[in-house]
């Protein structure tokens, strides 16, 4: 999935939203999908491996998906637990003394649990979007299956699953859906990394050994978030018009004169 397609999808999803932004107070759930770019991974083979021991694995764009359960404190601060999954196919393996046009196969899958702390940036009650930032820490398992120079003597393989401490940074924007209070469309960028993974390594004609691989990921995602217990704001009631002035009441007067005189009497 290309970056252009992801941005286009996020724009289309955001078109029907126009609700006032409200801070989340209480439980919410969220989900997101998108493209994951895993940075080139530098690998170092252990000393018992024959031949050059340093190399690099390059990866194609892959997939990322997340599910989260969180709680908003009503002041912009949120805390959540997140499960995530990332997968990238291997594009190229270089170094290790391999030819530049060697055939490569394999993929890398990263999955685990993160605890995140986030802060919603209030832009005012009339603006229907809310930027947010966050950080997270947790534990991720990395399943490596990387093979270079496949089918030729001197094949290098790096494989195995290893769990390590993980950390991430988050930046996103939530667009509130007017028709469904509590529902928001989200767009996010995430950087997620782990401590170096230790996996099994093998070169033809040598004993099995170990290798260390770094793991850094850049993710661009779109998703949905639903906050429970959000009620729509009360409708704005127009002020009542002022009461109309009472119509004038016609009055009748009697005027008294003395006989054959034009002077008003005291009674008149």
- pLDDT at residue number 226: 97
Residue 238 lies in a domain: no
Residue 208 lies in a domain: yes
CB 87 within 8 A of CB 62: yes
Joined together, the tokens standing for residue 3 give 């970056």
User: Where is pLDDT greater, at 25 or 236?
Assistant: 25
Say yes or no to pLDDT of 171 above 80.
Answer: yes
Distance separating alpha carbons of residues 245 and 58, to the nearest angstrom:
83
Residue 240 lies in a domain: no
Residue 237 lies in a domain: no
**Nearest to residue 51, comparing CAs of 206, 223, 250?**
206
* pTM of the full structure: 0.76
Q: Give the range of the structural domain holding residue 34, as residue numbers without chain letter.
A: 3-227
Domain count, the chain: 1
Residue 118 lies in a domain: yes
pLDDT digits (tens, 9 = 90+) for 79-96: 999 999 999 999 988 887
Place of tokens 């394999």: 106
- pLDDT at residue number 45: 76
Place of tokens 């469904």: 180
Residue 256 lies in a domain: no
- pLDDT at residue number 148: 86
Distance separating alpha carbons of residues 42 and 197, to the nearest angstrom:
11
User: Where is pLDDT greater, at 69 or 101?
Assistant: 69
Say yes or no to pLDDT of 242 above 80.
Answer: no
Joined together, the tokens standing for residue 170 give 């988050």
pLDDT digits (tens, 9 = 90+) for 33-52: 999 999 999 887 766 555 56
Distance separating alpha carbons of residues 112 and 25, to the nearest angstrom:
27
N-term to C-term CA, the chain: 100
Say yes or no to pLDDT of 6 above 80.
Answer: no
CATH of residue 153's domain is 2.40.160.20
Residue 33 lies in a domain: yes
Grouping H, G, I as helix, E, B as strand and the rest as coil, residue 53 is: coil
Percent of the chain with pLDDT over 90: 50
Residue 176 lies in a domain: yes
């Amino acid at each position: 999935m290309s970056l252009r397609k992801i941005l286009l999808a996020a724009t289309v999803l955001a078109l029907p939203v126009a609700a006032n932004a409200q801070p989340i107070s209480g439980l919410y759930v969220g989900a997101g999908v998108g493209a994951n770019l895993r940075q080139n991974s530098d690998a170092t083979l252990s000393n018992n491996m024959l031949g050059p021991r340093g190399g690099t694995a390059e990866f194609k764009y892959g997939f990322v998906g997340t599910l989260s359960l969180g709680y908003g404190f009503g002041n912009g601060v949120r805390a959540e637990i997140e499960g995530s999954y990332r997968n990238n196919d291997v594009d190229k393996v270089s170094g290790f003394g391999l030819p530049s046009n060697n055939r490569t196969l394999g993929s890398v899958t990263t999955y685990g649990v993160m605890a995140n702390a986030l802060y919603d940036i209030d832009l005012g009650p009339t603006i229907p979007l809310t930027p947010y930032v966050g950080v997270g820490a947790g534990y991720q398992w990395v399943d490596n299956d990387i093979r270079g120079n496949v089918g030729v003597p001197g094949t290098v393989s790096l494989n195995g699953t290893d769990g390590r401490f993980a950390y991430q940074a988050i930046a996103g924007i939530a667009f509130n859906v007017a028709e469904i209070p509590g529902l928001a469309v989200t767009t996010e960028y995430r950087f997620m990394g782990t401590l170096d993974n230790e996996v099994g390594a093998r070169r033809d004609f040598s004993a099995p050994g170990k290798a260390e691989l770094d793991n850094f990921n850049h993710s661009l995602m779109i998703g949905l978030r639903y906050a429970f217990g959000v009620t729509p704001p009360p409708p704005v009631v127009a002020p009542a018009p002022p009461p109309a002035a009472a119509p004038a009441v016609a009055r009748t007067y009697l005027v008294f004169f003395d006989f054959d005189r034009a002077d008003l009497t005291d009674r008149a």
